[in-house]
C-alpha cells in the first residue's frame, strides 16, 4: 500500500475508544468516546440499590401463523414519558438523583435494557405448566436487548449531531452486533431507532436499541424464503440483485455514494420510505470496513435530514429506522445488510393509521407512489 492510500485509510479509521463497565445489578455497560484519551475514563460507579434484572419471559408458538410471540409481562410497568428532570438516560450530575448512566458526561453509551423483551437470565417451565394443545412447547425468551444512547444532550436529534458523533454511533452499532452475534443462541441481531411520540417513543432522549433474537423474526423469515426462491431460479442474491436493478433504473434512487446507495423500494408501504444498502455484499454492520463505516455516518444523517424536510412546515418527522442484518447461523448467505427508514406521517398533522384490511389481513395499501416519494427526497437534498 502506498503512502497516500495508507494516509486515506488512517483518516477513515475511528479515533475513539470503548470502555466497559458494570451496572449495580450486573448489567454490562459500554462507553464509546469520539476520541481516545490517555488514562482511565468513565470510572464513576453505579451506586443504586437495584434488584436483580428480570428473567426472560417466554415465547409461545402461534399455530395459526407459524410465528413465535414473545410474552414479557415484566415490561408492563416500564418507564413511560418521564419529565426531562427524571430522564433515566441523562448523565448523573447529582449523586442524589442517579440515572442509568453513572458518569457525569459521555459521548455514546450502550447498556443492557432494564426492562428487556429478551433476556439472558432464563428459567425453565413451571412443573405444573400446561403444554400447548398444538405445536411446539413454549420456550424461554432468551436474548439480549441493549439501549444505545446517542448523546448526553437530552434535546439533541441524531440528524443534527456532529459528524464525529455519528461515526461513533456506527461503531457502537457494529460493536454490539458483533458481540451478540457471537452468542450461539442468537439467531439474528436487529439495530433500530424510533423517533417521535407518534410512533410510540417512551423516552424522548435521543437513543436507539439493539435486539438479539433467539429465533429469526417473521419479516426476516419471509425475506429468507423469497431469497431462497430467487437463488433457485436465478442463482443470485435477492437483495444484491434488487440493489443492482434500482441503481440501473435510477428512477427511485435518491442518493449514491462510493459505498452506499439509497433508494425508495418499488413496492414502498409507507408514505415516506427509503432503503439504504452497501454496494459490497456484507451480512451485517460488524462486517463493514473503515471506509464504509465513515461514509455510512455521513449518508445516514443526510437521509434523516431529508426525511425531516419531507413535509413543508414540519421540523421533525417521526420515523422508524431499522438495520436488517443476515441471520447469524443457517441461511446467513441469503441475508444482506440493508436499512429501512420510514415515517408514518403522510401529511402535516396527519398520520397513516393502519386500516382494518392492513391490521387484520396484512393487505397493505399506500396512499402515494414510490416515485413521488423519491422525487421529494431528491428535492430536499442538502
Backbone φ, ψ for residue 325 (5° rounding): -120, 160
Pair 336, 281: CB distance under 8 Å: yes
The three grid cell numbers given for residue 12, joined into one nine-digit string? 477513515
Q: For residues 265 and 338, what is the distance between their CA atoms, to the nearest angstrom?
A: 12
C-alpha dist (Å) from residue 103 to 41, 51, 94: 9, 20, 10
- Whether 42 sits among the annotated catalytic residues: the reply is no
Residue with cell 440499590: 49
Show the 3-state SS of 14-59: CCCEEEEEECCCCCEEEEEECCCCCCCCCCCCCCCCCCCCCCCCEE
Catalytic residue among 207, 311, 324, 338: 207
Q: For residues 381 and 303, what is the distance between their CA atoms, to the nearest angstrom?
A: 8
Q: Pick from 278, 288, 269: which is nearest to 341 by CA?
A: 269
Residue with cell 410474552: 71
Q: Report the 10 Å Cβ neighbour count for 26.
A: 11
The three grid cell numbers given for residue 354, joined into one nine-digit string? 393502519
Q: For residues 207 and 342, what is the distance between their CA atoms, to the nearest angstrom?
A: 17
Pair 27, 13: CB distance under 8 Å: no
DSSP string covering 44-98: ------PPPPPPP-EEEEETTTTEEEEE-GGGTT---S--GGG-TTSB--STTS-
Pair 261, 276: CB distance under 8 Å: yes
Q: For residues 272 and 377, what is the distance between their CA atoms, to the nearest angstrom?
A: 9
**Catalytic site residues?**
207
Amino acid at each position: 500500500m502506498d503512502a497516500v492510500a495508507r494516509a486515506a485509510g488512517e483518516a477513515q479509521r475511528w479515533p475513539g475508544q470503548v470502555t466497559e463497565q458494570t451496572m449495580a445489578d450486573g448489567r454490562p455497560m459500554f462507553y464509546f468516546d469520539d476520541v481516545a484519551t490517555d488514562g482511565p475514563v468513565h470510572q464513576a460507579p453505579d451506586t443504586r440499590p437495584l434488584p436483580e434484572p428480570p428473567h426472560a419471559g417466554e415465547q409461545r408458538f402461534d399455530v395459526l401463523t407459524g410465528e413465535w410471540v414473545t410474552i414479557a409481562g415484566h415490561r408492563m410497568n416500564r418507564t413511560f414519558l418521564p419529565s426531562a428532570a427524571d430522564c433515566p438516560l441523562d448523565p448523573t450530575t447529582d449523586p442524589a438523583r442517579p440515572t442509568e448512566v453513572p458518569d457525569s458526561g459521555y459521548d455514546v453509551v450502550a447498556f443492557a435494557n432494564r426492562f428487556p423483551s429478551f433476556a439472558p437470565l432464563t428459567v425453565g417451565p413451571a412443573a405444573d405448566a400446561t403444554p400447548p394443545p398444538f405445536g411446539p412447547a413454549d420456550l424461554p425468551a432468551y436474548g439480549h436487548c441493549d439501549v444505545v444512547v446517542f448523546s448526553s444532550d437530552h434535546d439533541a436529534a441524531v440528524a443534527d449531531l456532529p459528524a464525529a458523533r455519528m461515526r461513533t454511533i456506527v461503531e457502537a452499532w457494529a460493536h454490539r452486533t458483533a458481540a451478540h452475534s457471537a452468542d450461539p443462541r442468537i439467531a439474528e441481531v436487529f439495530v433500530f431507532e424510533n423517533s417521535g411520540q407518534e410512533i410510540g417513543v417512551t423516552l424522548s432522549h435521543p437513543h436507539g436499541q439493539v435486539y438479539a433474537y433467539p429465533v429469526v423474526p417473521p419479516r426476516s423469515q419471509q425475506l429468507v424464503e423469497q431469497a431462497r426462491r430467487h437463488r433457485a431460479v436465478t442463482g443470485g442474491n435477492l437483495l444484491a440483485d434488487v440493489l443492482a436493478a434500482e441503481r440501473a433504473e435510477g428512477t427511485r434512487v435518491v442518493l449514491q455514494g462510493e459505498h452506499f446507495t439509497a433508494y425508495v423500494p418499488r413496492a414502498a408501504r409507507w408514505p415516506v420510505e427509503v432503503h439504504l444498502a452497501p454496494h459490497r455484499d456484507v451480512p451485517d454492520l460488524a462486517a463493514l470496513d473503515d471506509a464504509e463505516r465513515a461514509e455510512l455516518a455521513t449518508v445516514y444523517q443526510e437521509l434523516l435530514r431529508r426525511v425531516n424536510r419531507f413535509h413543508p412546515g414540519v421540523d421533525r418527522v417521526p420515523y422508524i429506522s431499522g438495520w436488517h442484518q443476515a441471520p447469524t447461523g443457517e441461511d446467513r448467505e441469503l441475508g444482506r445488510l440493508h436499512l429501512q427508514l420510514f415515517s408514518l406521517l403522510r401529511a402535516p398533522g396527519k398520520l397513516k393509521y393502519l386500516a382494518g384490511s392492513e391490521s387484520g389481513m396484512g393487505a397493505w395499501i399506500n396512499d402515494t407512489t414510490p416515485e413521488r416519494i423519491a422525487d421529494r427526497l431528491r428535492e430536499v437534498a442538502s
